[in-house]
């Protein structure tokens, strides 16, 4: 295709041969017919071809297009099955997101990071459900008081509180589940997943940590600054108040501000979750309080003995430039628990993969592949 200065040189197309004619889709034919009909020296592309061979090829092509449309409709339908609900666990109101399969072969329990707002992960969970071919029910359970409403009346919850809450959630909500449970955790959710595995090992088949935060990174300036902010009650309260002041804005204005501040790559899902949850004073206070207790708990090295004993049940995905889960930790796990399945994401996504559609889809496909591989190995 070439563009020139004179109107009769604006578009040059190859001569359409009979064989090419048969394989072009109808819309392509319409465009070509319009382009060529004004020139007697060019062949005119006619859709009403009488050749039986062409008719069969067109039929097959239209069937392929129809199948693609049907698949797209099924994928969209799968996305509509994401359902939020509330339940009380150990007396605390808990936000849950679920996708139920008709005949699940296993159950995925997802543990978010910090902030532990499950709606941030909707795109990821929907994509995961699709990549698992509808064979899994999926439940994502939020951190206590990282919620849209202050159901806990300002109470603050530590990392240990959140771990106990997830263990109790399994006992209360998943006790009747007869299929194996697969844990998937993000960031500090990876650490929480390991603690769940420690206490519920008989129910858990596999544990996948995404961009895991398992121990402090002493070389990270960002972690040092966040640690100092979280450790100060005054600074935490001030920061929470400043963020919560955005709650005075109407939702439409808040969405525009968040989108402008965080960039165009952020998904509508992430922008909405930010506006509904992170503008709440109680949520930000709990985010920072939980962070403070994380920094205390994770000052120690990971429990290498436990990880070595369970290495066949463990998989981790690391990022290239992630101070929460640095590649130094990748090397340490390789040394202490060499049977662990370890991967490095090199596609340019970030620790906050769930905030973009591309990141959500890529990580979901990775997790689905890991799960399918593990289930295949178990069947051998």
The pLDDT tens digits along the chain (380 residues) read 444 444 444 444 344 333 333 333 333 333 333 333 334 333 333 333 344 555 555 555 556 555 555 555 555 544 547 899 999 999 999 999 999 999 999 999 999 999 999 999 999 999 999 999 999 999 999 999 999 999 999 999 999 999 999 999 999 999 989 999 999 999 999 999 999 999 998 999 999 999 999 999 999 999 999 999 999 999 999 999 999 888 888 999 999 998 888 888 899 999 999 999 999 999 999 999 999 999 999 999 999 999 999 999 999 999 999 999 999 999 999 999 999 999 999 999 999 999 999 999 999 999 999 999 998 886 54
* Predicted pLDDT of residue 37: 37
Question: What's this model's pTM, rounded to 2 decimal places?
Answer: 0.79
Give residue limits of the domains in the chain.
7-75, 87-379
User: For position 73, what pLDDT does the model report?
Assistant: 52
Question: Phi first, then psi: what are they for 124, rounded to 5°?
Answer: -65, -45
Beta bridge partner(s), residue 108: 138, 182
For 95, the 3-state DSSP assignment is strand
Kindly give, in sequence order, each residue whose CB lies less than 8 Å from that of residue 210, ignoring residues fewer than 6 positions away. Answer: 184, 185, 186, 187, 189, 190, 316, 317, 353, 363, 367
> CB of 241 within 8 A of CB of 250?
no
CATH level 2 (architecture), domain 87-379? 3-Layer(aba) Sandwich (3.40)
Q: Would you say 347 and 362 are in contact if contact means Cβ atoms under 8 Å apart? A: yes
Distance of CA 110 to the CA centre of its chain: 10
Other C-beta atoms lying within 10 Å of the C-beta of residue 23: 12
Neighbours of 356 (CB within 10 A): 20
Look-up of token digits 């159950």 = 107
pLDDT of 205 reads 96
């Amino acid at each position: 295709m070439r563009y020139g200065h004179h109107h009769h040189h604006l578009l040059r197309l190859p001569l359409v041969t009979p064989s090419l004619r048969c394989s072009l889709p109808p819309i392509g034919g319409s465009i070509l017919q319009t382009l060529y009909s004004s020139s007697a020296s060019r062949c005119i592309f006619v859709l009403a071809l009488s050749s039986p061979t062409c008719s069969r090829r067109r039929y097959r092509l239209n069937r392929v297009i129809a199948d693609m449309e049907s698949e797209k409709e099924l994928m969209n339908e799968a996305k509509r099955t994401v359902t939020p609900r509330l339940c009380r666990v150990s007396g605390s109101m808990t936000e849950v997101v679920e996708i139920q399969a008709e005949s699940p072969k296993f159950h995925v329990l997802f543990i978010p990071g910090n902030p532990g707002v499950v709606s941030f992960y909707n795109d990821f969970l929907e994509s995961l459900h699709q990549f698992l071919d509808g064979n899994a029910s999926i439940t994502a359970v939020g951190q206590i008081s990282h919620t849209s409403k202050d159901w806990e009346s300002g109470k603050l919850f530590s990392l240990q509180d959140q771990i106990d809450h997830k263990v109790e959630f399994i006992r209360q909500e998943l006790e009747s589940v007869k299929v194996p449970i697969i844990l998937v955790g993000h960031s500090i959710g990876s650490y929480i997943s390991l603690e769940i595995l420690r206490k519920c090992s008989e129910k858990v088949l596999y544990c996948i940590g995404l961009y895991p935060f398992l121990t402090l990174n002493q070389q990270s300036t960002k972690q040092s600054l966040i640690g100092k902010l979280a450790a100060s009650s005054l600074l935490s309260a001030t920061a929470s108040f400043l963020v919560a002041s955005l709650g005075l804005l109407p939702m439409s204005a808040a969405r525009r501000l968040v989108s402008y501040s965080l960039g165009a790559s952020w998904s509508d899902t992430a922008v909405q979750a930010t506006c509904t949850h992170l503008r709440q004073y109680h949520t930000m206070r709990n985010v920072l309080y939980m962070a403070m207790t994380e920094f205390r708990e994770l000052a120690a090295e990971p429990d290498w003995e436990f990880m070595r004993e369970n290495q066949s049940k463990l998989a981790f995905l690391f990022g290239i430039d992630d101070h929460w889960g640095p590649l130094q930790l990748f090397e340490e796990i390789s040394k202490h628990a060499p049977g662990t399945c370890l991967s490095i994401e090199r596609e340019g996504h970030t620790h906050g993969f769930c905030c973009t559609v591309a990141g959500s889809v890529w990580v979901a496909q990775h997790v689905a592949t890991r799960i399918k591989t593990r289930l295949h190995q178990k069947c051998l």
